[in-house]
């Protein structure tokens, strides 16, 4: 029965996630905000909901700062490893070889947020940092930096996006209001099924005895990141590469910024002081992966090395496996 629930969740996410990608593109066209900002802010907020729910419940209900930090940063690594999957879905050339350099601000802000989180985790047990009640300085800076980053990227997109004067639209039959209703309907299905899937995955790991194994950790990471996988692959196959790449970057920024919110709801003190220092290694892996992604976008050229394997794909997957093993081996996630 539990496996039936697992596959039912996947079917719902597959059905709703495909439509989420489509209606995100409609909203980008009708609102004139652009695919990058819609993917970075709107789609990423929906697909990152399972990790957000797991991170908050880990800190408040389970009282495990390690699990909260490990879930959120581990999801960043998993999301970036999805780029290797997107290469398989994008047949002609590596997906990042066809990606606009307008994604680079998202790369830079994502890297900066990881640096802030790493500095907060490193300094917490060594330096007495200022606290605002039970909220640490690191948590406050992360939340402010995330909001500031999204605002700056929106301003940049509005400035750099060329207005469409052709009058040609891909979705003439839909208006913005109808697209928003359909988008949030699909989003509700993705969020509910994604959160349900994370709990079902946890039950499967416990029932099968995988709960304390490397396989169990990978299963839970895949369960919480299933919405990103479905939406990004669907977006690439439908030709909406900007939405897919922006979703990955936006989910990473949100997962990292969420450490500040989790710190705010963790009433026992600083989340960073309570988390294990081994999470630093995972943050470094995530930062390296963001750096590799940025180099691939900046180069803007490249072919598959063989079949549909790009030069950056194996590096991203390898770093993800290292991060996942660290979380498992040292009990940080």
Q: Angle 230-103-118 (CA atoms, 0-180°, nearest 5)? A: 85
Given a cut of 70, whether residue 236 has pLDDT beyond it is yes
pLDDT at 250: 92
Domain hosting 241: range is 2-160+179-329
CATH number at residue 255: 1.20.1420.30
> Is residue 206 a part of any domain in this protein?
yes
Query: pLDDT class for 287, splitting at 50, 70, 90?
Result: very high
> Is residue 168 a part of any domain in this protein?
no
Give the whole-angstrom CA distance, residue 315 versus residue 292.
8
CA dihedral 5, 9, 10, 15 (to 10 degrees): 140
Partner residues linked to 135 by β-bridges: 132
**Average pLDDT in the 75-79 region?**
89
Query: pLDDT class for 161, splitting at 50, 70, 90?
Result: low
> Is residue 184 a part of any domain in this protein?
yes
Give the highest mean pLDDT range of 64-78, 139-153, 154-168.
Answer: 139-153
pLDDT at 268: 83
**Average pLDDT in the 219-241 region?**
82
Q: Angle 45-17-314 (CA atoms, 0-180°, nearest 5)? A: 80
Query: pLDDT class for 188, splitting at 50, 70, 90?
Result: very high
Give the highest mean pLDDT range of 8-17, 53-62, 217-226.
Answer: 8-17
How much of the chain exceeds pLDDT 70, in percent?
Answer: 90
DSSP letter at 305 equals: S
Give the whole-angstrom CA distance, residue 327 versus residue 333.
5
pTM value surpassing 0.95: no
pLDDT at 162: 55
Question: pLDDT (tens digit, 9 = 90+) per residue, 198-210?
Answer: 778 777 767 776 5
Query: pLDDT class for 304, splitting at 50, 70, 90?
Result: confident
Q: Work out the burial of residue 93: count CB atoms within 10 Å of its CB; fewer than 13 is exposed, 13-18 middle, 19 or more buried.
A: middle
**Average pLDDT in the 3-14 region?**
87
Query: pLDDT class for 221, splitting at 50, 70, 90?
Result: low
Query: pLDDT class for 216, splitting at 50, 70, 90?
Result: low
Got the DSSP string for 70-100?
HHHHHHHHHHHHHHHHHHHHS-SS-GGGG--
> Is residue 165 a part of any domain in this protein?
no
Query: pLDDT class for 166, splitting at 50, 70, 90?
Result: very low
Phi/psi at 322 (5° precision): -60, -45
Least confident of 66-75, 79-88, 104-113, 292-301: 66-75
Given a cut of 90, whether residue 159 has pLDDT beyond it is no
Given a cut of 60, whether residue 165 has pLDDT beyond it is no
**Closest-CA residue to 187 (of 3, 4, 22, 65):** 22
Look at the alpha carbons of 138, 141, 147, 152 in this order and tell me if their dihedral is positive or negative.
negative
Give me 6's structure tokens. 């697992």
Q: How many structural domains are present in the chain?
A: 1
How much of the chain exceeds pLDDT 90, in percent?
Answer: 30
Give me 93's structure tokens. 């050339």
> Is residue 202 a part of any domain in this protein?
yes
> Is residue 173 a part of any domain in this protein?
no
Given a cut of 80, whether residue 68 has pLDDT beyond it is yes
Given a cut of 50, whether residue 332 has pLDDT beyond it is no
Quickly count: other Cβ atoms within 10 Å of residue 267's Cβ: 11
> Is residue 65 a part of any domain in this protein?
yes
């Amino acid at each position: 029965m539990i496996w039936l629930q697992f596959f039912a969740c996947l079917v719902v996410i597959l059905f709703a996630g495909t439509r989420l990608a489509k209606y995100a593109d409609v909203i980008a066209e009708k609102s004139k905000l652009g695919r990058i900002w819609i993917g970075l802010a709107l789609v990423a907020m929906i697909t990152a909901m399972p990790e957000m729910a797991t991170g908050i419940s880990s800190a408040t209900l389970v009282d495990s700062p390690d699990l909260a930090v490990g879930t959120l940063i581990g999801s960043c690594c998993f999301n970036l490893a999805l780029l290797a999957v997107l290469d398989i879905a994008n047949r002609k050339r590596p997906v990042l070889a066809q990606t606009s350099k307008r994604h680079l601000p998202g790369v830079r802000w994502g890297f900066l947020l990881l640096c802030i989180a790493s500095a907060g985790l490193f300094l917490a047990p060594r330096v007495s940092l200022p606290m605002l009640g039970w909220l640490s300085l690191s948590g406050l800076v992360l939340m402010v930096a995330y909001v500031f980053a999204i605002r700056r990227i929106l301003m940049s997109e509005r400035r750099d996006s060329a207005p469409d004067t052709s009058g040609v639209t891909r979705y003439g039959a839909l208006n913005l209001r109808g697209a928003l209703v359909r988008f949030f309907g699909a989003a509700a299905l993705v969020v509910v099924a994604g959160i349900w899937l994370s709990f079902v995955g946890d039950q499967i790991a416990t029932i099968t005895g995988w709960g304390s194994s490397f396989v169990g950790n990978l299963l839970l990471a895949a369960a919480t990141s299933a919405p990103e996988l479905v939406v990004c692959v669907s977006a690439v196959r439908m030709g909406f590469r900007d939405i897919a790449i922006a979703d990955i970057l936006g989910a990473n920024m949100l997962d990292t910024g969420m450490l500040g919110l989790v710190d705010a709801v963790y009433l026992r003190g600083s989340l960073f002081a309570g988390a294990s220092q081994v999470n630093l290694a995972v943050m470094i892996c995530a930062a390296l992966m963001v750096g590799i992604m940025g180099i691939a976008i900046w180069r803007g050229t490249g072919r598959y090395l063989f079949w549909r394997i790009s030069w950056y794909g194996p590096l991203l997957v390898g770093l993800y496996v290292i991060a996942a093993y660290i979380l498992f081996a040292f009990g940080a996630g």
